[in-house]
Structure 1
Amino acid sequence: MAKKSVKSVNQIISEIKQGIIQPVYYICGNDQYSLDAAVDYLQKRLAPQINSEFDREIISAEKGDDINGIIDLALAFPFGGGKKLIVVKNFENINGRKEISDYIGNPPDFTILVILHYAEKIELSREPFKLLNEKGYLYEAREETGDDLTNWLSNRIRKMNLNFNDEQIRILIEIVGENKSLLNSQIDKIADYVSSKPGADFEEIKKLINPTKTYSIFDLQDAIGAGNAAKALEIAYNLLDSNLDIVMLINMISKYILTITQALELMRMNLNDGEASAKLGVSWYYYINCKKAKFLLNENRLRKAARALYEADLAVKTTQTDPKDIITQLLAKIIS
C-alpha cells in the first residue's frame, strides 16, 4: 500500500472552510512563519467556540518539559461549556513525545489541541508521527526557496496593493533573506510607507528595509524572571512599538509577580504542581514557568517589584509620562 503523504499546512484553511475541525493539529516543519500563521488562523477561526478565557491556553515548552502535564490539561473539561483550545509551541523540547499516541488514538471531543513542532525532518515510520498521519492530524510547514518563495512573496505583495516587478522582488529577498517572517514584516512596513507617500520609487523604499525581531509578553516575563535587565527592556520596547497598551503590559507583569509570590507560599506547603496551579487558577505550564523565575524567588525582590508596579500604574493613570519612560523605570526597579 502506498505511503500516505503528509498534508500541507495550507490545507488547514481549506478544511476549516469546509467545516472540518480536527481534535488535534500537529504542525511540524522548519517554516516558522507558516507555523505561527497557522496558529493565528486557528485561534481566530475557533474563537467563537471558546466560551471562557480559562479554556484558551498557550504553552511554550522548555527543554525537558514533560508531556503528562499537557495531556492532563487536554483531558480536563472546559470551564465554559464550549470547546477548549490548547496551543503548545516548541514541542520539540518535550520529553516522552511518544506517550501522546494514546491521546491521539482517542482525543476528547471538547478539546482542540494544536501542537507546533519545529523540525528539519520527521520520521513518518515512527510514533507518534505514523499515527498522526494515519488519523489526518499531521501537517507540514516546509521553508520555501527559489521560485516557490518568490511566488509566495509576489502574492503577499499583491494582497497589500503594492506594485513590484520580478526583479524588485528578487532584490527584496536578497536584502532581507529567505525568512518569511522578516519578509512579511518588511512588506507591512513598506505598505505603511507607500500609503503615506504615494509615488515613492523603489530606491527610496529600499532604504526602509532592515531585519526585525518580534517578541511576546512571555518572552518579557522570562527575561524578568532571569534578571536580564537589558533583554527585558529590549523586549518591552518592542512590545510597545507593536502597539501593546502600557496598561496591558503592566497588568501582565503584575500577574506574573503575583503568581510567583503565591507559588513561593505553596512550595512551602509542599503542594504538587498540579494542585498548586489549580489552586491559583492558572495553567500548569504557566505555574511551572513562574517557578523557574530564579531571580524573583526572593521575598524582598518580590516586595520591591510589587511596589514598583504600583508606582508604574499610578504614573500611567495620573501623569502624561511617555510609556517607554514608565517601563524603563519599572524594569530598573524590579531588576536591580
Structure 2
Amino acid sequence: MTDYELRKAAKNNKLPPLICLYGEEAFLLEECLTCLLDETLDKSSRDFNLLVINGRDVDPASLMDTAKTFPVFVQKRMIIVKQAQDLLAHQLDNLISYISDPVPECCMIFCANKVDKRKKFYQQFKKNGVLVEFKSLYANKIPPFVCERARSANKQFSEDGLALFCRRVGNTLGEIVTELNKLFNYCGDNHFIDVPDVAAVVSDTRIDSVFDLTDAIGAKDLSRALILLERLQDDGEAPLKILAMITRHYRQLWKTSALLEQNVGKQQIASTVKINPYFLTEIIRQTKKISKLSYPQSFELFIKLDLALKSTGAQPRALLQKLAQDLICLN
C-alpha cells in the first residue's frame, strides 16, 4: 500500500488494524501520520481513545490490553508507537500474539526510521497489516514536489522562479514546506510566483556567495572573490565550513565536467552528481570557466588549507585569501 492509498483508506474509514510507517523521510512520514490521526479521531475524542508511546517504553501486555479496550463513543481507538526501531527483541516477540489476531476496533500504528523485515514480527505483521515506506527524495524529485505543493495552494512558479527556489532551499522537505508557506503568504492572491517573489522571501546567502565566488575565480576577478570570502566570514560562517562548501562545489563541477565529456545527458548528470536539475544549468555554465586540468591541483590546495586551518595559530582570513589567489592562478 502506498502513502496515497493509506490516506484514501483513512478518509473512507477503512484503515487496517495494523500499520507500519517507516523510512528516512521523517517529514512525509509525520505528515501521513497526522492525516491518519485527523481522519480517524477528532480532538475531542482523543483523551479516551488515543495512546502515543515511544518504542523503548512499551510494555507489551499493557499495550495489548489497551488495544483490546473498546473505544469510547467512536468507531476506532488509535495507538501510535513512535521510534518503533527501539523495540527490543523480547518486546516484539511478546506482541506477535496480538498482531496475529488484531482487534478491528483499534488501529495500531508503528513509526520507525527503519525496520528489519526478516524478523518474525514483521513477517507476521505483513499478513494482517500494511507497511508503508517513506524514502528520501532524490534531488531530481524536489522540483515536482515543489510544483505539486504550489498547485495545491493554487500557485504556479515561473521556470526561473522555480530554479531559484530549488537552488536556495536544499533537499530538506520540512524546510522546503516552511519556505513555501512563507512564499505563499507573501504572494497573497497573486497566483504566479516569479524570481522577485522568491528573492524577497527565500534567502540563502551562503549558497549564492559560493556560486558567486566560483564565478569570480573563473573570471579571474580576485577583488570580487576576496569581497565574497569576507562576506561569508562576516555572516558568521566558520572557515572550515566555508572550505567544505567550496570543496563540495568544486567536486560537483569536476564530476559534471567529466560527465559532459562523455556526452552524458543532463538528467543522468543531475542524478549522478546528486544535484537539483534546476541547479545543473548554472553548474554547467561554471564548468566552462574552469580548466579541467586545474581540478586535481585545486583539491591539493583544499587538503593543504584544511590542515592549515586545523593547526595552532592559523590565520583563517589570510589563508582563505591565499586560497582564492591560488585558485585564480590555476585557471
Normalising by the residue count of structure 2, what TM-score does the alignment of the two structures yield? 0.53
Partner deviation per Cα, 1:36-78 (whole Å, 9 max, x = no partner): 111111122112698563112233x165655444333223333
| CA deviations over 1:65-116 (Å, ceiling 9, x no partner) | 5544433322333344642112222222333334332211111122111221
Q: What is the alpha-carbon distance in structure 1 between the residues aligned to residue 71 and residue 144 of structure 2? A: 42
AA matched with 1:41:
C
Partner of 1:89: 82
Q: How many angstroms apart in 2 are the aligned matches of 1:154 and 1:100? A: 42
Query: Aligned partners of 2:168 and 2:70: how far apart in 1?
Result: 49
**Bigger Rg, structure 1 or 2:** 2
Q: Is 1:193 the equivalent of 2:189?
A: no
126-135 vs 65-74, greater mean Cα deviation = 65-74
Determine which of 159, 182, 205 is the counterpart of 2:198. 205
The whole-number CA distance in structure 2 between the counterparts of 1:37 and 1:17 is 15
> Partner of 1:78 in structure 2?
71
Q: Report the counterpart of residue 170 of structure 2 in structure 1.
A: 177
Give 1:156 deviation, angstroms. 0.7
**Alpha-carbon contact 1:50-1:80 (below 8 Å) kept:** no
Query: 1:29: which partner in 2?
Result: 23
Alignment match, 2:110: 115
For residues 156-182 of structure 1, what are the alpha-carbon distances to aligned partners after superposition, in whole Å with 9 as ceiling and x for unaligned? 111112221344334323322212121
Q: Are 1:129 and 2:122 counterparts? A: yes
Give the gaps of 5 or more residues in structure 2. Answer: 205-331
Are 1:52 and 1:79, in contact at CA under 8 Å, matched by a contact in 2?
no
Aligned partners of 1:49 and 1:83 also within 8 Å: no
More helix by share: 2
Matched position secondary structure for 1:77: coil
1:12 deviation in Å?
0.3
Over 6 Å off, 4+ runs:
196-200
Distance in 2 between residues matched to 1:206 and 1:179, nearest whole Å: 19
C-alpha deviations, 1:210-235, integer Å up to 9, x for none?
A: 69xxxxxxxxxxxxxxxxxxxxxxxx
Letter in 1 for 2:27: Y
Q: Tell me by how many angstroms 1:23 deviates.
A: 0.9
Q: Does 1:100 align with 2:105?
A: no
Over the matched positions of the two proteins, sequence identity in percent amounts to 15
Q: Secondary structure at the match of 1:73?
A: helix
Change in 2 beyond 3 A, CA 1:62/1:83:
closer
- Count of aligned pairs between the two proteins: 202
Kept in 1: contact 2:55–2:82 (CA 8 A): no
Find the counterpart in structure 2 of residue 310 from structure 1. none
What RMSD over aligned residues (CA atoms) do the two structures have, in Å?
3.0
Q: Give the TM-score normalised by the residue count of structure 1.
A: 0.52
In 2: Cα distance, 1:130 partner to 1:154 partner: 38
